[in-house]
Chains A and B, each alone.
Chain A
Amino acid sequence: MITPSPRDRFALARYVVCALLLATAPAKAEDKIDPETERKAFQAFFFAKFPKVAKEEFGNGPYAVNESMRKQWKEMMEFPPYEFALDEGHAEWDKPFANGRRYADCFDNKGQGVRQTYPRFIAATGQVETLEGAINRCRVENGEKPLDPMTGLMASLAAVMSESSQGKPFAIVIPDDPRALAAYERGEEFFYSRKGQLGVSCASCHMSPAGERMRGDILAPALGIMAAMPIYRSDWGSMGTSIRRLSTCSFMTRAQPLKADDEDYRDLEYFLSYMSNGIPIVGPGTRP
């Protein structure tokens, strides 16, 4: 009888481990999502679809991809309907909290020119935080009540932060943390999942049909779709933040909108903003 010596057995074990590694490595590489590769493909799709639209323009949504809408827009921009929101936002931004601290104390660079880095993955919570979430956290940490994240004063503050970030390209970071990658992937899942009684996904309306007319609207391309937030919409008659827009789109598909601060919406915004890395902020925006 030949029994392998301990040495041989060790060699055998090594061989088995190597074989296993070789067998599983390529499969793993295939399964693992790579956001950067996905972002390049995503952007290439839109650059090919709209060869005449400059990269810097994508944040202007319908106006970037439709000539007649663009004329209308130029007229509207003579008296931008978000001006009142900027006025209100600046007054609020400069006003100290009861404890003497200010919004500026809660943000990098005193909150100037940082909008393009939101949403962010926060290691301490293991979750994604949106710009509006950061504003509300700032308030709560300073003893103030949180604001309605959809509209009103929150939209005005977001407008101020966007204004100081105009021209800065989206620079969303996915840190080397499996929870951050998982958040990105959940956002991606949301974007591509068919939902609501109509059984359509965000992608169903904002990928291939971008630029086409849906009822009175021209569908915005998914690329840069967060860059103009917050927006004044004539059909709302008021300002709305990103989350107001996402809930409205959920509602359109006859899906019951989630809570405004639901983690799924935050992850969705994380994914969408990451896909727009390199597209400059143009907000606040105005829409028909």
Chain B
Amino acid sequence: MIRSILLAAGLALLSLPAVAATQAEAEAALAAAQTAEADALAAKAAWTTTEADLTKAQKALAAGQWDQAKAAADEALTLAKRSVEQANEQKTSWRNAVFR
């Protein structure tokens, strides 16, 4: 009995941080995503989906929805990084696709 209560409490604790993002966390996540996207734009490698997630994050932040803001910013960060990786990888591998 006690064991299962403890287990439930532990599970609740584990899932807590994911639910409640603070304003500071959301702002930090957005800043990180914006930095990564600036790199992608500079490399002319940006994706429209990253831009859309950034807009979503900014709107949520302005509305005080920290959780949604952080989630969208985290997603934008992932996409921005992947877009830069794609561009770096293609710098050499495009040659394999050339029709000769």
Q: Contact at B90–A194, with CB atoms within 8 Å?
A: yes
Chain B nearest CB, measured from A129 CB (Å): 20
Interface assignment of A199: CB less than 8 Å from any CB of chain B? yes
- Taking a contact as CB atoms under 8 Å apart, the answer to whether A197 and B48 are in contact is yes
Pairwise interchain contact B86-A192, C-beta atoms closer than 8 A: no
Distance between A40 CB and nearest chain B CB, rounded to angstroms = 10
- Per-residue contact bits, chain B 25-55, to A (CB 8 Å; 1 contact, 0 not): 0000000000000000100111111110000
Further 7 A-B residue pairs, CB within 8 A, beyond A195-B45, A255-B47, A258-B44: A194-B90, A195-B86, A197-B83, A203-B97, A255-B45, A255-B46, A264-B44
Chain B hits for A189, CB < 8 A: 94
A277 at the interface (CB under 8 A from B): no
In the docked arrangement, what's the CA distance between A196 and B44, Å? 10
9 interchain residue pairs of minimum CB distance:
A256-B46, A192-B97, A193-B90, A193-B94, A192-B94, A197-B47, A254-B48, A197-B49, A41-B100
Contact of A256 with B48 in the complex, beta carbons under 8 Å: yes
Main secondary structure of the interface of B (DSSP, over half): helix
B45 partner residues in chain A, CB cutoff 8 A: 195, 255
Question: Interface 1/0s, chain A 231-273, versus B by CB < 8 A?
Answer: 0000000000000000000010011101000101000000000
Contacts of B87 in A (CB 8 A): 193, 195
Q: Which residues of B line the A interface, CB within 8 A?
A: 41, 44-51, 79, 83, 86-87, 90, 94-95, 97-100
Whether the pair A262, B47 counts as a contact (CB closer than 8 A) is: no
| Bound CA–CA A60/B31 (angstroms) | 48
Query: A residues touching B (Cβ–Cβ < 8 Å)?
Result: 38, 41-42, 45, 188-189, 192-197, 199, 201, 203, 207, 251, 254-256, 258, 262, 264
Interchain nearest-CB distance for B89 vs A (Å): 8
Cβ contact of A201, chosen from B49, B51, B95, B97, cutoff 8 A = B97
Q: Residue among A193, A194, A199 with the most chain B CB within 10 A?
A: A193
In contact, B98 and A188 (Cβ under 8 angstroms): yes
| A192: B residues at CB distance < 8 A | 94-95, 97-98
A/B interface sample: 5 pairs, CB < 8 A = A189-B94, A193-B90, A201-B97, A255-B45, A256-B51
Contact A256 B47 (CB under 8 A): yes
- A238, B23: Cα distance in complex, Å: 45
**Is the Cβ of B94 less than 8 Å from the Cβ of A201?**
yes
Minimum C-beta distance from B39 to chain A (A): 13
B90 touches A195 (CB 8 A): yes
CA distance A41 to B98 in the complex (A): 11
